[in-house]
Chain A
Amino acid sequence: MASLNFIQLLNGLTFASLLFIVASGFTLIFGLLRIVNLAHGALYLFGGYIGYSVVAATGNFFFGVLASMLCVAVMGLLLDEGLLRFVRGFELRQVLLTLGVAFVLNDLALVIWGGDTFSVPVPETLRGATKIFGSYYPKYRLLVLFLGVAVFVALWLILNRTRLGALIRAGVDDAEMVEAMGINIRRVFLVTFMLGASLAGLGGVVGGAFLTLYPTADSEILVFSLAVVIIGGRGSLVGAAVGSLLVGLLNIIGQVVFPELAYFVIFGPMAAILAFRPLGLFGRAA
């Protein structure tokens, strides 16, 4: 049985960081709009592919990130305004509809980009390794780690320190009342939906650079995101962070100790938490 070393710990943390970027978008939409967007994984994959194509065409990683976030935000807009509007208020129908969208998007990605494995090229300055606490570690992965923290801080500030955040929180508590104050709450929710979707796009490019992109990557990231939200609780930013850390680290432990059964290792804590807190660590009843 191999033991965990420092590098593997860092691998776990960077993976957790990516998970947080993806899952925070998922939990944001789930918690605030009460929409479970099962197409989130497909948006991640699409974002990654778009980022890959743009980076390959322009040679600029930053453009790739930007293009991917924009495109996926627009896809979120189309999904919300074009399809979900027909099933508003029906929770289960919404979920199943997004599941249908996930199938369509996944297959569409297969048509456009084929079944090959892609890796988003990392910018020149971030290639190679750097020395950290006496061992060498890829620079790019450290950036991912910081990016995760930055996304957490930014989301926290948006939700707690801005007018938009105040509107979102008010809308969650009593949408009708906010409307009565003369605010277009639908627009606030739409912005939230696009923000959440763009985080999936960001995750796709960032993750596509070190996890690679392939046709089943969307399901894999969706399982992890679901595990994060189930552990952390719906709509909780802190819950998503704690859940990501738990899932990310456990996944690495699983890969090192039981390489073939890594999936099983996330299952344990998920089961334990559900037994005691069915709504997750930081979840509250609707």
Chain B
Amino acid sequence: MLAVGFAKNRPAIIALAIVLVVFGVMPLIGSSYQVSIANEILIFALLAMSIDVLAGYSGRTSLGHGAIFGASTYVVIYWTSVMGGSPLVAIVLGVLVAVLVAAVFGLLASRVSGVYFLLLTLALGMIVWGVALRWTSVSGGENGLRGVGRPEWLTNPIVFFYVCLVTVVVMSAVIWRFVQSPFGLTLRGIRDSESRMSSLGYGCATHMFIAFTVTGFFAGVAGALYALFNNFVSPSTVQLSQSVEGLLMAILGGIGTLFGAFIGAAAIILLENFVSQYTARWPMVLGFMFIATMIFAPEGVLGAFRRIFRINKKL
């Protein structure tokens, strides 16, 4: 029984073990700057995985997850700094709000697919951004909100890094279980043929709604971690480029590979930090990368590897 479970989950166990080892030794060998970059990679990998559950396993490309992520960040910072509440409650509230936002998005978007889904999630995400920008009395408008810092026991960046690592790895395992579950299989069925699944009696819209809400939970956890990590939130946290970066990470890592998100996130964040040293033109670089990816490697880095690997197998 255990052996069967291991065989079925082997890719996940291996991938997460690699993540644990690679990221686990980071604080031992890296500088504090490198640790903070690794920390950012972990957080955004979780966001990218939440997008991949929809894009890779449900066939729905979302451009609204950056807004869900950012909503959680806003709530956490608002609760701790403006309301003076405890960080733990803040995190719970942040994730709750993210799930709520995702549920509203999902309720509206669950009946459409393809380009319409993309447009709708884009518009919904932009509304969150518009509210963050204009609702100055709460969100601080363009100035954003500054947090009060992490709680005492998390102030040490290395401790915080390990807390993030454990959280993200546990979440990844949960996401893996989620997409491998009968529910996840149904999602894949809907991705491949919606009409077939609905004629088999599956409620496609309901499944999509639940899937969207669940991914909102993961994006919310990532957003809450980001609030503790960054200690600052402004409309740029909920803007479109956040969703776009998350999606690009998922695509570069390979849509439907789930753990490819770690590679995608690492590639984007390392590049962003590298480019930012020389020029302020990161949005342009991001745009060009997006264009190039769409033309040359829509299946992503891992996807391309996989393709080559499969060809070799056949030979």
User: Which A positions have Cβ atoms within 8 angstroms of B?
Assistant: 36, 38, 83, 86-87, 90-93, 95-97, 99-108, 111, 219-220, 222-223, 226-227, 229-230, 259-264, 266-267, 270-271, 274-275, 278-279
Which of B108, B129, B241, B295 contacts A274 (CB under 8 A)?
B108
Minimum CB–CB distance for A271 against chain B, Å: 6
Which residues from 107 to 135 on chain B have a C-beta closer than 8 Å to any C-beta of chain A?
A: 108, 111-112, 114-116, 118-120, 122-124, 126-127, 129-131, 134-135
Minimum CB–CB distance for B229 against chain A, Å: 24
Q: Is the CB of B123 within 8 A of A226?
A: yes
Q: Is the CB of A100 within 8 A of B127?
A: no
> A92-B118, A102-B287 known; A264 and B281 CB under 8 Å?
no
User: Which B positions have Cβ atoms within 8 angstroms of A?
Assistant: 61, 63, 108, 111-112, 114-116, 118-120, 122-124, 126-127, 129-131, 134-137, 239-241, 244, 247, 281, 283-284, 286-291, 294-295, 298
Q: Is the CB of B294 within 8 A of A87?
A: yes
> How distant is the Cα of A66 from the Cα of B115 in the complex, in angstroms?
33
Q: Is the CB of B119 within 8 A of A97?
A: no
Q: Which 5 A-B pairs have the closest CB atoms?
A: A100-B290, A103-B287, A263-B130, A104-B287, A100-B291
Q: Is the CB of A104 within 8 A of B120?
A: no
> How distant is the Cα of A177 from the Cα of B134 in the complex, in angstroms?
51
Give the dominant DSSP class at A's interface: helix
Contacts of B112 in A (CB 8 A): 274, 278-279
Q: Is the CB of B295 within 8 A of A223?
A: no
Which of A103, A108, A223, A259 contacts B130 (CB under 8 A)?
A223
Determine the residue in chain B with the shortest Cβ distance to A275: B108
> A92-B61, A101-B291, A103-B290 known; A260 and B283 CB under 8 Å?
no
Q: Is the CB of A264 within 8 A of B294?
A: no
Contacts of A226 in B (CB 8 A): 119, 122-123, 126
Counting chain A CB atoms within 10 Å of each CB, the highest count among B61, B123, B286 belongs to B123
> How distant is the Cα of A279 from the Cα of B115 in the complex, in angstroms?
11
> How distant is the Cα of A227 from the Cα of B134 in the complex, in angstroms?
18
Contacts of B122 in A (CB 8 A): 38, 226
> A103-B283, A220-B130, A263-B127 known; A92 and B244 CB under 8 Å?
no
> How distant is the Cα of A77 from the Cα of B130 in the complex, in angstroms?
31
- For the complex with contacts A83-B291, A105-B287, A111-B281, 10 further pairs of A-B residues with Cβ separation under 8 Å are A83-B295, A99-B244, A101-B291, A104-B284, A107-B287, A223-B127, A259-B134, A262-B130, A274-B112, A279-B116
Contacts of B115 in A (CB 8 A): 36, 91-92, 95
Minimum CB–CB distance for A103 against chain B, Å: 3
Minimum CB–CB distance for B298 against chain A, Å: 6
Contacts of A99 in B (CB 8 A): 63, 244, 290
Minimum CB–CB distance for A113 against chain B, Å: 15
Contacts of B130 in A (CB 8 A): 220, 223, 262-263
Q: Is the CB of A108 within 8 A of B284?
A: yes
Q: Is the CB of B127 within 8 A of A264?
A: yes
Contacts of B244 in A (CB 8 A): 99, 103
> How distant is the Cα of A91 from the Cα of B136 in the complex, in angstroms?
38
Q: Is the CB of A264 within 8 A of B291?
A: no
Pick 24 A–B contacts, CB within 8 A, sort by A: A83-B295, A90-B298, A92-B115, A93-B294, A95-B118, A96-B290, A96-B294, A99-B244, A99-B290, A100-B287, A104-B291, A107-B283, A108-B284, A220-B130, A222-B126, A223-B126, A226-B119, A226-B123, A260-B135, A261-B131, A263-B130, A264-B131, A274-B112, A279-B112
Contacts of A107 in B (CB 8 A): 281, 283-284, 287
> A93-B294, A260-B135, A278-B112 known; A101 and B287 CB under 8 Å?
yes
> How distant is the Cα of A229 from the Cα of B294 in the complex, in angstroms?
25
Q: Is the CB of A92 within 8 A of B114?
A: yes
> How distant is the Cα of A275 from the Cα of B106 in the complex, in angstroms?
12
Q: Is the CB of B294 within 8 A of A97?
A: yes
> How distant is the Cα of A254 from the Cα of B288 in the complex, in angstroms?
37
Determine the residue in chain A with the shortest Cβ distance to B132: A263
Q: Is the CB of A97 within 8 A of B284?
A: no
Q: Is the CB of A219 within 8 A of B135?
A: no
Determine the residue in chain A with the shortest Cβ distance to B251: A96
Q: Is the CB of A97 within 8 A of B134?
A: no
> How distant is the Cα of A185 from the Cα of B242 in the complex, in angstroms?
38
Contacts of A275 in B (CB 8 A): 108
Determine the residue in chain B with the shortest Cβ distance to A34: B115
Q: Is the CB of A100 within 8 A of B135?
A: no
Minimum CB–CB distance for B267 against chain A, Å: 16
> How distant is the Cα of A239 from the Cα of B74 in the complex, in angstroms?
36
